[in-house]
Structure formats: structure tokens, C-alpha cells
Structure 1
Amino acid sequence: MSVGGMLAGRVRSVRREMSNPLYRNAYALMLNTVVNSGFGLLYWIFAARTYTPDDVGRGSALVNLMMLISVLTTLNFGQALIRFLPTAGNDSARLVRLAYAVSAGLGTVASAGVMIYLNLVHSPGDPLWVSPGFALWFVISTAAWSIFNLQDQVFTGLRSAMWVALENGVYGVVKLMLLVAVSFTSVSDGVFTSWSAPVLALLVPFTLLIARRLVPRHAAESAAEPGAGAPATSTLRRYMAGDYVGQVFNQATSSFLPVLILQLLGPEQSAYLLPAQTVFIAMNMLSVAITSSLVVEGARDPARAHLLARAILRRIAVIVLPAAVLVALAAPLLLLLYGRAYSENGSLLLQLLMISMIPRVVVTLWMTRSRLANRTGPLAVQQLVHAVVVLGGTVLFSPSLGLAAVGWSWLAAELLLAVFLAPIVVRWLRGTHPVPDRPSVPADPGAGEVTEVIGRVEDSTGPAGPADDGTDPTRRIPRIRD
């Protein structure tokens, strides 16, 4: 075969792959992870070279405080959008507005309370004191950040994940440019300002895109699906409750780990933990991104969810796992970028964390199946077990193993969970333990919907009409091609 013929065949293969929404959205979300990680790294490098260490330290603390408040007050609504928005039909717009209202409202109240505390308890000159003007800006920024983050899940649930990568790519560029520009002005808290101001600017166009184009089109496409509509209030509450508790355990593990190492081994070893943990989180997000697409498509077609899972597993096997192996092999050289001490003290930890990505695949697929079955209570238990093994193992073995105790404990937690959950995952992949299909539409169209909650949020976009884009509302996703 000629080179031209080979290239043409490859182009056809890529076009066929990208025409499938399962793969298209998965690759878009993986691209978004790479974009976010890259711009995040550049941002803090530029910040360190542009601002004083005190300014960087205060800015980093305020940014992380804003993100922590947002995580705790969105109630993990984002995962609920990924699960239920694909089949929400004509309730799509109301479900999105409910998520916005709850998250922004709780974020406003919580951030206002924190700002009042910092203003009253700390005195001017203290690193954590905030002026009334900055406090107001922080509250507005937190509410905007909550909606901005939710839009990633909205785009994903609407099967338009390419907008996620575009939105965050534009945000990364603008944020970086503003960071440098603000450094030449007299604006105080330039790090936090450069981080939050672009959010407010980008919120308007992307919110309009969702409300006026993507949601109406999605509602028209999904309204004819069997069982289309928002979930029952009790279902939504149970789903979010279990998922939220699990998210709290997950955050406790990742956020508390540096503090624990600081107490057990000292500040120097805590510093060596940071690069390895950052790389591992970025790699883990690749798996989360690709399985988020599986949740969306599996929600639309539960009977074929196991077939979609097999296809996604093959993509993980040829993309994520080889990348993890490559990072493990290159760990000493990669950490050498931070300094020789980081390479000598953190290489084994990073290698163990990368090896844990292999059993993590089983756990991730089990989590995906649990979400599709609306069983988030077991997710909370799984996250609790993981936190206990990781934190407990670190405490027990750090005196003898040092920083490597974190890696061995993490690997042990993933292996333990994988062994326990593997039979369920295998039966699911074989089709002998399927996800329950969506229920049919109830006789009373208003019964079982969250209309008593979301109906209070005014429908500012108007009723959704048919999408005049040539799509067939009854079309199922294409046959999976290997």
C-alpha cells in the first residue's frame, strides 16, 4: 500500500473515531486535563518570577480557599449533571439552572462568612486580613467560580465536551496574560485578581452559548428518549448525598496528606511530596475524564453500557496506562527539573503512585457502574476505605519507610479495592451484571420529577423547540467500533 493510501486510511479511521460521541467527548476531556495542567504549571512559574514570595504565598492561599469553599458548597452537583443531564429532555434547562442557583447561592453565603471572619479576627498587616472591598470581590469571585466549574460538567452532560477544552484553554491564556499585566500596576492581590477576573469575563459568553444554543438542541434530541426527564427528587438527593460524602473523603485524603507528612517527617519531606502528588493527580484526571464520557453515553443507553465500558477500557489500556508506565520510568529525570534533592527523595514515591494506576482502572470502572446505577452510597464507603488505608498506612510505616510510605500505602489501597471489586466489574463487562435500564415515562408526566424544586427557578431561556440542525431526535449513539 502506498504512503498516500496509508495516510488516507488513517484519516478515515480518525474521522470515524471522532464521529462517535463516546470517543469524541472522552478525548476532549483528556485534552482539557492536559491544557489545565500545562497552563497551571506555567501560571505558578510566572507568578514566582513576577511577584514576591509573600505575594505568591498569599495569592495561592486565597485561590485555594476560594476553590475549597466552591468544592464544599457545590454539593458535587457536577457529577449529578453528568449522570442525569444526558436524559433530562425538556427539563434540561431547569436542571442546569437549579445547579447554578444552589451552588452559587451556597458559595456566596459560605464565602461571605469566611470573609467576615478574616476581617474581624485578623488585623491589618496580617497575611490573612482582608479589606471590605476585597472581601466583596472574593464573594463575587467564589460564586462565579462555582458556576464556571459547573459549566465543565454541563458541557460534558450535553455531549459537547470540546467546549470544555476551549473554555479552559482561553481561560488559561487570559489568566496568564493578566498575571503579567497586573504586576505592572498598583493593584493589590494581583495573583488572586488575575486568577478570578477572567472567570467573570468568560462566564457571560459561555453561559449564553449553553442557554441559547446547546441546551435547546439537547432538549430536542433527548426529549423523545424513553424515560426522558429530570430524576425524582428523592433519587437526585440520594445520588448527591452519597457522592458528596465520598468527595469529602477524597478531598480529605489529598488535602490532608501534605499536612500529615509535615507533622510526621517535617517540612522538607512535605516539599518533596508536592511534585509527585501533582503529577499523579494530573494522570488520575485522565482516567476520570475518559470515564465521564462513559457515564454520559451509558446514561443514554444503559442496555449497552457494558459494551461502551469495554471500548473505553481499551482506550485506557492504550493511552493512560502506557503514559503511567512512561512517567514511572522517567520519574528520576522528571523530578530532576525541581532539583536533585527532589529526584533523590521523590522518585520512588512517584513510581509507586504510577504503578497504582493499573489497579485503579478496576476501581474507576466500578465507580462508573455505580454512578450509572445511581448507587453513590457504596462510593462513599469506597472512598472512606481508601482514605483509611492511605492515611493509616502512612502513619504506621513512615518511621521506617519515610516518604515512600505514602506510595506503598496508596498502592495497597488500590490493590485491596481492585481485588474486592474486580468480580463485579468483570461480570459487568461480560454483560452478566448489567446496569438497570431507565424506567419508562410515568403516566403522570409531573410525577417523579424535581419540578417542585426546579420549577421555582424561572425559565429564562423559554421553551425548548426542535433543533433545526438536521439531527434525528431518536438517534442512538453509533455502534462501537474497536
Structure 2
Amino acid sequence: MAGRLRSARREMNNPLYRNAYALMLNTVVNSGFGLLYWIFAARTYSPEDVGRGSALVNLMMLISVLTSLNFGQALIRFLPTAGNDSSRLVNRAYVVSAGLGTLAAAGVMTYLNLTNSPGDPLWVSPLFGFWFVVSTAAWSIFNLQDQVFTGLRSAVWVALKNGVYGVVKLMLLVAVSFTSVSDGVFTSWSAPVLALLVPFSLLITRRVLPRHVTSSAAEPGAGAPDGGTLRRYMAGDYMGQVFNQATSSFLPVLIIALLGAQQSAYLLPAQTMFIALNLLSVAIMSSLVVEGSRDPSRSHLLARAILRRIMIVVVPAALAVGLAAPWLLLLYGGDYADNATLLLQLLMASIMPRVVVTLWMTRSRLASRTFPLAAQQLFHAVVVIGGTTLLAPVMGLEAVGWSWLAAEFALAAFLLPIVVRWLRGTSPLPARDVDLDTETTRRIDPVDPVAETTEIPRARD
């Protein structure tokens, strides 16, 4: 037992593992509180109020995602090595995301106010429109703070922040139901964001960020990327995000058009469970991007360590969900189990090839090559949407699962040689550019090659 405790302490002292587990915990916390929130909403408010509230919440999040320009991924990639430029990089992300979000939200609210009559479910008053605009700007910053904490190697705060938000959001949802406040669902979702934004912003600016600057400013090559590098990185990553968002958001609409609203309802729980489990891999890989950015030449060692954790946590979880699919779907009703069991099992089967694809995506981000990411996401979208369209008249809802599985296996087969060479160290990423006068080498721990190591100055030749 003492040996196991020492091993656990050693693992949690390593930022790679500590941040990976914290981000995994955050995924579980977000998924759990999200499920509870909508269960409470369904039992507390009328279906009309829940429907309008859900539409407005999703509209706010969609505007925020599209106007953030995927700045969050740029923070995860470049903030670990930004040094004295860290504050400037964070502030730029806040200003761009919140500014574009404000403009887009104002345009959408103006459109809904002018084109709908007061009795329409999507009509908004000028006062509510103003609240929506403020909430969208706040949500953009609130969401970026997750990536800021991750890039600053303090992902434990991400799980705590979203855990507090989930609790406050649930309490406010019930409290508002006893008042005369209209749009209680949207209010309970957005008001805690404004309340929590200030304390966590102060935590970042007064504690976490200065500590990061102090520890990283003296590292060789520290500094934010130039504007051209940052724009190219964000452009490719943003295009990939748009293709990915379009695929997941368009699928329910496509199923309605091809098979009807009932089959689209059966798609929802399977898609939700798959996205939640896939986010676990994404969370782990975010920690790999942070640590790999600090020393790309050792990223293959970090990737091998992360891969072992995925094989221990994510893959068995996917297998368990696939085997338990009939009983899990019974929670939604017998019709869901009868119509979506095979779909859920196919989606869970795609988790394994998805690991290969996610590793390649991480390597591309570490190499600052994001336009191939956009091409990969475009291929995935074409196969899934095209395959579903062609196969749905014959296979029904299972067409989504077979198309998704085919897209993941095709990509994994093509990308596997690149990933294998990277993991073996035969095709490592180049080390960060450093000044020869201050160049350092890292002493590798023979027990744990991905453990925190001490930098030893190396004399210039």
C-alpha cells in the first residue's frame, strides 16, 4: 500500500498526468451537471420554457464557438512557452473573442426582435437582447479561462471552476422557478457566469499567470509567436473546428430530413454518450499539447505515456458502454433501446481508431501545422454526411454509425504510419529554437522518462 501511495503521489506531481486527470475530471463534472440540469429543468418548467431556454443557450454557445476563432487551442499550444508575453496573449484572446461575440450576438438579437412577433417562441425584447449580448461576451471569456488554466499547467482549477458553476447553476434554476423572472432557464444558465467571471479572472491575473511568467520567462526561446504564425495556426484550426461542428450539429437535421423526427430523437442519446466519451481523449491530449510545447523533442515520450493512460481509461470505458448499450438506452425508454443500440455500439467501436487520429492531431498542433487538420476534418465530414445520406434509406439510423466507423478507420489507416514513427522516436518533432548562449539540455529520469526534469546548462562549443 505504501508503494502504491508513493507511485500515486509521484504521478500526481507530474504536470502531464496531473493536468490530464484534472481535465478528465472536468469532462465528467460537466457531463454530469449538464445531465442533472436538464432533468431538473424538465421537471421544473413547462416544455415550452425548456424548449425556448435550450434553443437560446445553444444559440449563445454556437455564437461563442464560431466567434472565438478557436483561440482556446492557440492558448493551449503557445501559452506554455509565452514567458513575459503570456499576459498579452491572454488579453488578446479575451478582447478578440468577446468583441466578435458581442457583435455577432447583437446582430442575431436584432434580427430576432425585428423579424418575429411578440408571440413567437424566438422573439426577444430589447432588454432580453441586451442581456443575451452581455451573456455571450461573458461566456466567451468564461470558456477561454478553461484553456488559460490548461495552458498555464493549472488544469485543477478548470475542474473546480466548472464544478462550482454546475452547482450554482442548478441552485439558481430551482430558485428562479419560484419567481416571476421570465426566461428562467437562460437566466439560470448565464447569471452564474457573470458572477464567477470576476473571482476566477482575479485568480488568473494575480496568482496563476504571474507564477507562470516567473517560472517560464527565463526558459530558452520563451515568448509568444509572431502575428503571422499565430494567424496561420488559428486559421487552419478554426476551419477544422467549423467542419467538426457542422458534422455534429447537422446530423440531427439530416436524420430528420431522411428518416423523420422520431429517428432523430433516437440519435440524441447515442450521440451525447459518444461525444462525452470522446471528450475524455481530447482532455488528455490537451495536457500532452501543453507539456509537448515546452519540449517538442521529447513529445514522443510524453505521447507514449499518455497513450497508456488512454488504453487504461478511455478504451475500457468505450467497451463497457458498448456492452451495456441496451440497458443504458432503456433509461430513455424501450423504443430508444430497440432503435439505437447498434448505433451506440458502432460509435463506441470507433473510439479505438479515433485514438490514432487524435494522436496525429496532437502531433500536428505541436508542429504548428493546422491546415492538415482542416483537411482531415473535411474528409471526416464528407464521409459521415455522404455515407449517412446514401445508406440511410437502406440501413436506417445505423447508417450514421457505419459511416462514422468507416471515416475513423480510413483516417486511422492512413495516419497510423506517421503516428507510429512519432511514438518510436524515429520521426520526432524538432526542439524549440533557442539561443546558443543559453542552450540547455534535459536530464532524463531513468525511472520515468516523462517526469519533470532539471535543466542543466550546456557549455557552448
Q: TM-score category by the smaller chain?
A: over 0.9
Shift of 1:123: 1.0
Superposed, which structure 2 residues align to 1:144-159 within 5 Å?
144-159=138-153
Superposed, which structure 2 residues align to 1:293-442 within 5 Å?
293-440=287-434
Q: Name the residue aligned to 2:112.
A: 118
The C-alpha deviation readout for 1:99-140, integer Å capped at 9, x for no partner, is 000000000000000001111111111101000100000000
The C-alpha deviation readout for 1:299-347, integer Å capped at 9, x for no partner, is 0011100000000000000110000000000000000000000001001
- Counterpart code for 1:420: F
- Counterpart code for 1:138: F
Shift of 1:476: 9.7
Shift of 1:12: 1.1
Count of residue correspondences: 445
Checking the alignment, whether the CA contact within 8 Å between 2:301 and 2:449 is kept in structure 1 is no
- Counterpart code for 2:135: S
Q: Aligned partners of 2:422 and 2:399: how far apart in 1?
A: 34
Distance 1:377 1:348, change over 3 A: same
Checking the alignment, whether the CA contact within 8 Å between 1:228 and 1:441 is kept in structure 2 is no
Distance 1:476 1:49, change over 3 A: farther
- Counterpart code for 1:480: V
Q: Name the residue aligned to 1:127.
A: 121
Checking the alignment, whether the CA contact within 8 Å between 2:321 and 2:348 is kept in structure 1 is yes
- Counterpart code for 2:407: A
- Counterpart code for 1:366: W
Q: Name the residue aligned to 1:139.
A: 133
2:253 matches 1:259? yes
Shift of 1:9: 1.7
Aligned partner (choices 267, 275, 278) of residue 273 of structure 1: 267
Checking the alignment, whether the CA contact within 8 Å between 1:81 and 1:157 is kept in structure 2 is yes
Q: Name the residue aligned to 1:100.
A: 94
Checking the alignment, whether the CA contact within 8 Å between 1:62 and 1:192 is kept in structure 2 is yes
- Counterpart code for 2:384: V
2:3 matches 1:9? yes
Checking the alignment, whether the CA contact within 8 Å between 1:86 and 1:158 is kept in structure 2 is yes
Shift of 1:475: 10
2:205 matches 1:235? no
The C-alpha deviation readout for 1:411-451, integer Å capped at 9, x for no partner, is 000000000000000000011111122222599xxxxxxxx
**Identity value in percent:** 80
Q: Aligned partners of 2:407 and 2:49: how far apart in 1?
A: 38
Secondary structure at 2:428's aligned position in 1?
A: coil
Shift of 1:264: 0.3
After TM superposition, the score normalised by the length of structure 1 is: 0.91
Superposed, which structure 2 residues align to 1:124-203 within 5 Å?
124-203=118-197
The C-alpha deviation readout for 1:45-82, integer Å capped at 9, x for no partner, is 00000000000000000000000000000000000000
Q: Aligned partners of 1:78 and 1:59: how far apart in 2?
A: 26
Aligned partner (choices 439, 450, 453) of residue 480 of structure 1: 450
The C-alpha deviation readout for 1:280-314, integer Å capped at 9, x for no partner, is 00000000000000000000011100000000000
Distance 1:67 1:475, change over 3 A: farther
- For structure 1, the residue ranges without an aligned partner over 5 or more in a row are 1-6, 444-473
Distance 1:442 1:132, change over 3 A: farther
Aligned partner (choices 64, 78, 86) of residue 80 of structure 2: 86
Shift of 1:479: 3.7
- Counterpart code for 2:24: M
**CA RMSD in angstroms, aligned pairs only:** 1.4
Secondary structure at 1:432's aligned position in 2?
A: coil
Q: Aligned partners of 1:68 and 1:190: how far apart in 2?
A: 20
- Counterpart code for 2:39: I
Q: Aligned partners of 1:195 and 1:83: how far apart in 2?
A: 29
Checking the alignment, whether the CA contact within 8 Å between 1:226 and 1:440 is kept in structure 2 is yes
2:16 matches 1:22? yes
- Counterpart code for 2:311: A
- With a CA cutoff of 8 Å and minimum separation of 6, indicate the structure with the bigger relative contact order: 1
- For structure 2, the residue ranges without an aligned partner over 5 or more in a row are 452-461
- Counterpart code for 1:285: L
Shift of 1:379: 0.1
Q: Name the residue aligned to 1:205.
A: 199
Q: Name the residue aligned to 2:25.
A: 31
- Counterpart code for 2:285: T
After TM superposition, the score normalised by the length of structure 2 is: 0.95
Q: Name the residue aligned to 1:458.
A: none
Q: Aligned partners of 2:434 and 2:21: how far apart in 1?
A: 32
Q: Aligned partners of 1:435 and 1:378: how far apart in 2?
A: 16
Superposed, which structure 2 residues align to 1:54-93 within 5 Å?
54-93=48-87
Checking the alignment, whether the CA contact within 8 Å between 1:89 and 1:228 is kept in structure 2 is yes
Q: Aligned partners of 1:414 and 1:441: how far apart in 2?
A: 42
Shift of 1:226: 1.3
Q: Aligned partners of 1:194 and 1:261: how far apart in 2?
A: 31
- Counterpart code for 1:376: T
